[in-house]
Amino acid sequence: MSSPPLVDSPQHIPPQRVLLVTGLLGAGKTTALRTLEDLGWEAIDNFPIRLLDRLLETEPGQARAESGVDNGTQLAIGFDTRTRGFDPQAIIERVKALSARPNLSVTTLFLDCGGAELERRYNETRRRHPMSEDKPAASGIAAERDLLAPLRRWADVVISTTDFTTNDLQQAIRQQFGAISPSRTTLTISSFGFSRGTPPLADLVFDMRFLNNPHWDETLRPMTGKDAPVGDYIRQDPAFAEAFERILGLLLLLLPRFAAQGKAYVNIAFGCTGGRHRSVFMAEEIAQGLRNAGFSPTLLHRNLAARGANLLEGAQAVQV
């Protein structure tokens, strides 16, 4: 006679992970949810909070049948001031009750952003703030910030996107909510232009402006650090070879130690004035050197395709 199949007892079933994503309109909720989806979360946007209890039924079969969501998945739920029945205090009380359930692990993420930056984003997209009516966007943003204040104070995680690019926010979400393997570090090598700001998530920043600048050569100016003539020009700089070897040696020393400490993400950035020549070339060379040493870096060039990079270079009063 065969033995009956083993069934996990409730205490051995891990709680379902639920992430509530909210914040100011324009602060990056859509980007955050898309990134979470890429990380394997099931994402639902503009979900009526009053239906949370039904979505997170304790009986998995019932939840699947009514919502199409499997309780075994990581679930990210987005909502904001436009969501029907939005009431911050009522939401907090509802989530407190849900957090008391042993089969749920509930986290709240609040995306914040400075008012001036939000105004700029609304001006760029020519969208009207839903709470501004016939007033300037600043009025709607201020009213929304007041309304959301209780949720911001209560949230488990607050990310300010004021100085973030879309890529910066994606990296922040990956770091905070991605699956972390203690034996593996995700390595990113990037180039950027100081004229457009330093990457906010960089762990190590190297300034390449000590190298001779190809921008001042009219033949090389239209090219980038990925073009061979630019690379040849930079290699001729007396400081390049020693700087490259020292930087690569430092990284080969540090990266294994970061991994041993359980650091999941390491972001290394190389900067020059406009982000087209010196930083791009050094990032490419260092990435190849790390590949030769057995690492698998992701390579990003933040400002390579940015319009007006040459103007930024040319606006410098002196050659740097």
Confidence of residue 264 (pLDDT cuts 50, 70, 90): confident
From residue 54, alpha-carbon distances to 15, 149, 176, 271 in Å are: 17, 27, 27, 50
What type of residue sits at position 218?
Answer: E
CA nearest 68: which of 49, 54, 50?
54
- Helix 29-38 vs helix 166-177: angle between axes, to the nearest 10 degrees? 50
Q: Give tens-digit pLDDT for 272-312.
A: 999 999 999 999 999 999 999 999 898 999 888 654 445 44
User: What distance in Å separates the CA atoms of residue 199 and residue 263, rounded to the nearest whole number?
Assistant: 19
Average pLDDT over residues 208-221: 94
CA nearest 273: which of 222, 212, 216, 209?
209
- CB-based contact 192:302 (threshold 8 Å): yes
Put simply, whether the predicted model's pTM sits higher than 0.85 gets the answer: no
- CB-based contact 108:159 (threshold 8 Å): no
Q: Which of 112-121, 184-193, 266-275 has the highest mean pLDDT?
A: 266-275
Determine the pLDDT at residue 209. Answer: 96
- Helix 278-292 vs helix 228-235: angle between axes, to the nearest 10 degrees? 90
Strand 204-207 to strand 157-160: parallel, antiparallel, or no bridges (unpaired)?
unpaired
From residue 135, alpha-carbon distances to 16, 141, 185 in Å are: 43, 11, 48
Average pLDDT over residues 47-74: 61
> What rounded mean pLDDT belongs to the chain?
82
46: which 2 tokens?
């503009």
